[in-house]
Amino acid sequence: MTDPVELVVLLDDAGTPIGTADKATVHTADTPLHLAFSCHVIGPDGRVLVTRRALGKRAFPGVWTNAFCGHPAPGESPAEAVRRRAQTELGLEVGALELVLPDFRYRARDSAGVVENELCPVFRTRVGGDPRPAAGEVDDGAWVEPARLRAAVEA
């Protein structure tokens, strides 16, 4: 049995959907603009979850980042995708979602030359428990005090 193809939503420069592409082939040195999301997770004690991307990830392997990110499927809202990926990537049920940066867009190249080119709404949520990360998605995770995280990012 083969795995189903995971599609990403391609966008024009104005952010309008113009088609889809296979996620496995879209991230290259010339990645087209596509829809994604990013989510920051806050625990019951106010600490922020950061994760280290699995070494097998195509883009930015082994990089420490926010709690999780992903791509909405065609016809799926970013908020629906956040809830789906929280469960599959981290084994977490998330609380209310707060959209903190609705129009965040970026283009970045990793050390291997793979480009991310995304319209990437950023969410924040709270959870009541610890993650149970999927091995192919996350190599490590840590709960960090917000002030320490800010200092590390600024450094």
Active-site residue, 69 included? yes
120 in active site: no
Give backbone dihedrals phi and psi of 110, rounded to 5 degrees, phi first: -85, 180
Handedness of CA 3, 66, 133, 79 (dihedral sign): negative
**Residue 82 DSSP label:** H
The catalytic residue among 39, 69, 89, 116 is 69
For 4, the token pair is 């189903």
> d(Cα 48, Cα 18) in Å, to the nearest integer?
35
Q: Which of 39, 89, 118, 120 is catalytic?
A: 118
Question: Cα separation of 2 and 92, whole Å?
Answer: 26
Residues marked as catalytic: 69, 118
